[in-house]
Amino acid sequence: MIAAGPHGDGAGAGALRPAASHFVDIRGLRYHYRQWRGDPARRVVLLHGWMDVSASFQFLVDALSPGWDVYAPDWRGYGQSDWGKSDCYWFPDYLADLDALLEHIQPQAPVNLVGHSLGGNVASIYAGVRPERVARLVNLEGFGLPPTRPEQAPRRYARWLEELRDRPSLRAYTSFSGLADRLQKNNPRLTRERAEYLAQHWGRETGDGQVMLRSDPAHKIVNPLLYRYEEVRAIWQQVTAPTLWVDTTETDNLDRLKLTPEQHAERRAAFRDLRYVTVPEAGHMLHHDQPARVARLIEDFLLVGR
């Protein structure tokens, strides 16, 4: 395990690096992605997590050195991308969406992939399914899910059917400031400036003057198919790209997922060429808490041998 160096947190100093918004038709949906334009030879694709949006990477992009050509899509059902046309969301669709997006962004060469949480899980599986399409892989707090047992299947399917009938909803906020308050409550490390910025991108105004997250509530419906850790590990073992796995000292994800240190180590060991780093003074949203530290880790890793 390597600890990240003592860089500052890049806290909101100066103007934000501008991003261009693009839309492309992907598998029947109008997909949105941001591009912070730079040198195509220094291209990287950033994949956000569950209930997040592409603009969430703004602080990380601002902390990168000049010249990086950065792409970040909004997954289906998030941000400015279309909501899915089914009544719930299926993990394999993220893989197929990513495959189509990469054909649009960089069809002729492998890409550098960076994923956070859900995005890290998608990127890690994609890198094992399509190893020829990934040059380098960075997984930010994408541990996978808890292992399951076959006997859990009946109850899981029943729960799925129940949630399809009694569909989940998202909380409404009285204002963007109220959403920023909630973001700071969820993450006390988040500065007010950053919380206000994120609220404007995570939220949207409704017709009655309230603010809702830019997320399809159907993302909260449980997946009826069990997470098969053995299958996922077999995919991870096919990853050929050098991999940087980044955790944090103050994450709550290991406890939430009920993973022991031994199980965590076993998951890391599935990658044949892996560097493991822990970022101090950061929680699960490390790209918000320590963007400068994370940016230096990513840059140093992607530029090895160049």
- Structural domains of the chain sorted by starting position, each given as residue range(s) with its CATH number in brackets: 2-147+228-302 (3.40.50.1820)
Residue pLDDT, tens place only, 3-26: 444 333 444 445 799 999 999 999
Q: Which pLDDT score, from 0 to 100, does residue 14 have? A: 59
Question: Phi and psi (nearest 5°) for 14?
Answer: 80, 180
Dihedral sign computed on CA atoms, order 230, 129, 134, 198: negative
Residue pLDDT, tens place only, 197-212: 999 999 999 988 899 9
Neighbours of 185 (CB within 10 A): 10
Burial of 122 (0-12, 13-18, 19+ CB in 10 A): buried
Q: Read off the pLDDT band of 254 (50, 70, 90).
A: confident
Please state the rounded mean pLDDT for residues 42-64.
Answer: 97
Please state the rounded mean pLDDT for residues 246-260.
Answer: 87
DSSP code of 173? B
Q: Which pLDDT score, from 0 to 100, does residue 13 have? A: 47
Please state the rounded mean pLDDT for residues 127-152.
Answer: 96
Contacts of 297 (CB under 8 A, 6+ apart): 4, 138, 244, 246, 277, 279
pLDDT of 117 over the 60 cut: yes
pLDDT of 189 over the 60 cut: yes
User: In whole angstroms, what is the distance from residue 53 CA to residue 46 CA?
Assistant: 11
User: In whole angstroms, what is the distance from residue 214 CA to residue 204 CA?
Assistant: 6
Q: Which pLDDT score, from 0 to 100, does residue 1 have? A: 43
pLDDT of 46 over the 60 cut: yes
Alpha helices, DSSP H, located in the chain: 58-63, 91-105, 118-129, 153-165, 176-186, 192-202, 229-236, 253-257, 261-269, 286-289, 291-302
Residue pLDDT, tens place only, 62-100: 999 999 999 999 999 999 999 999 999 999 999 999 999
Q: Which pLDDT score, from 0 to 100, does residue 255 have? A: 82
Residues pairing with 274 in the sheet: 243
* SS3 labels along 205-268: ECCCCCEEECECHHHHCCCCCCCCHHHHHHHHCCCCCCEEEEEECCCCHHHHHCCCHHHHHHHH
pLDDT of 251 over the 60 cut: yes
Q: Which pLDDT score, from 0 to 100, does residue 78 have? A: 98
Please state the rounded mean pLDDT for residues 257-283.
Answer: 94
Question: By percentage, how much of the chain surpasses pLDDT 70?
Answer: 95
Neighbours of 282 (CB within 10 A): 25
Pairing of strands 211-213, 68-73: unpaired
The tokens describing 65, both together, are 């050195």
Neighbours of 269 (CB within 10 A): 13
pLDDT of 110 over the 70 cut: yes
If we measure between CA atoms, which residue out of 241, 216, 274, 244 comes closest to residue 120? 244
User: In whole angstroms, what is the distance from residue 133 CA to residue 102 CA?
Assistant: 9
Q: Which pLDDT score, from 0 to 100, does residue 305 have? A: 61
pLDDT of 30 over the 90 cut: yes
Q: Which pLDDT score, from 0 to 100, does residue 253 have? A: 80
DSSP code of 9? -
Q: Which pLDDT score, from 0 to 100, does residue 277 have? A: 97
